[in-house]
Amino acid sequence: MSVSVQAWHGKKQLSITVNPSEGTIKWGDEKIDPRDVVFVQKSVLGLSVETLEGEMGSKKVVTREVLFENLGDNDSLGEALESIAADKKTVPQIDKLHVILNPFSGTGKSQTKWGVLRRYFDFFKLPYEVHRTMYQLHATEIAAQICAQKEPTNFLCIGGDGITHEVINGIPTNQSPKPTCYILPAGSGNGMARTLGIKTDADAMWTIFNGEPSAVDVFTFVQHQPKDRRTGEVIPTKTKTEKKSFLHLNFGIISDIDFESEFLRCCGATRFPITAVWKILTYPHYRAKITLSVVDYTNTIWKPNMAGKDTSKNLVNTATKEVVIDDDFVLISVSNVSSISEGMCLNPFAHINSGLLDVTVALRSEISRFKLIDLFNRAETTEIATAPYVQHFCATSFKIEPKTDSAYKGKFDLDGEWVTYGDASMGVLPGELSLVTPHSD
């Protein structure tokens, strides 16, 4: 059994044929040149093909993903899965999997993607239970109820980064046995997936079936006397906010772009650059005071890391020094990952298991509108690391005190969630989260 898709080579249309039973990908016209045959592992779950679509003069690049679900009837699917199962590493040895699915995620594709993946789980007879979230923080409630049973369990988070954030906040600190989390990204940003190099559904499914558990740091986020996120007034019924984060805390222009682009959520990740143009024109700045316990990395070789798994950052000295900055900021980002979303690499030195907070700041006095445009261009790669108007720190703790009298009050973006306003402090729980990631080799 095989599946074909159409692609363009210049002005010429080609047929690309995938045959999972043979483990081949072929392309060409009626006659297949032997040089136009690529042999792939039979355990491949799918592939992505970039094609040009549209009328002449308005063509655009469209990515077409071919997954084995598209092979047609159940017999052909079974044939493909048998070839996958031949490689024993592709069959995960897991306890019961709790699938937590957000049907309202940014791209609205969560249920479709689960429909594909479910067929693999059924084929391998892997136990699972599906939970669909119906409201904000529902995933936190579900995860807490499951963890209260104190049984070995695993979570598969399908949706944007927000669904994983909610699940992590439902898992008690030092839970034993520690649950393992899998991710199938279906949101607008997908920061953790981007950092791990998971760019397509095929990448994600391959990681689920053939990845390895990794110890990932979790940040603590604490606010005393939290304030209403819209009005800035103290919430009299709430004396403290405590949350956990696995991605980032953003304050300033980046968080404004995230939340002010909500009305464009139907556009997927495109909503971010559209809103960024408007924010650059308005050129906002945010008054705040930050205090960091900075680690000395003198004489350490720093290498920007897109995969997020390099743990080569060895401490020269475990001693810290206090750094205080009280100024007008354009952005403040505290991160556990290099990329907070597609095309937004703010913390190229961040590592998911370094045990540190990676902090990037830009002061208004050092960045003009033109440089702000340059910053967003650099953020598409690791080049932001060399930008002279950006400061990077590695810290064991972080505190921020926003000034409410600033013209732009700012918003707190914690893993993509708009949280309460006010003074906040952060720390690190090293290796607190067990997350399945692609093999390091």
Over range 4-25, report the average pLDDT.
Answer: 56
pLDDT, greater one: 210 or 237: 210
- Work out the mean pLDDT of the chain and round it to a whole number: 75
User: Quick check: 32 and 13 in contact, CB under 8 A?
Assistant: no
Q: Which of 118-127, 150-159, 259-268 has the highest mean pLDDT?
A: 150-159
How do residues 287-332 score in pLDDT, each as one tens digit? 999 999 988 654 333 344 434 444 444 444 456 788 999 999 999 9
Does residue 238 register a pLDDT over 60? yes
Please tell me the distance from the alpha carbon of residue 199 to that of residue 326, in angstroms, as a whole number.
38
Q: Please report which confidence band the pLDDT of residue 56 belongs to, taking 50, 70 and 90 as the band edges.
A: low
Q: Which of 97-106, 215-224, 257-266 has the highest mean pLDDT?
A: 215-224
Does residue 336 register a pLDDT over 70? yes
pLDDT, greater one: 269 or 187: 187
How do residues 351-384 score in pLDDT, each as one tens digit? 888 888 999 999 999 988 888 888 888 887 778 8
Per-residue pLDDT, 401: 92
Per-residue pLDDT, 152: 81
Lowest-confidence pick of 18-27, 148-157, 431-440: 18-27
pLDDT > 90 fraction of the chain, expressed in percent and rounded: 20
Does residue 438 register a pLDDT over 80? yes
Whether this prediction's pTM lies above 0.75 is answered by no
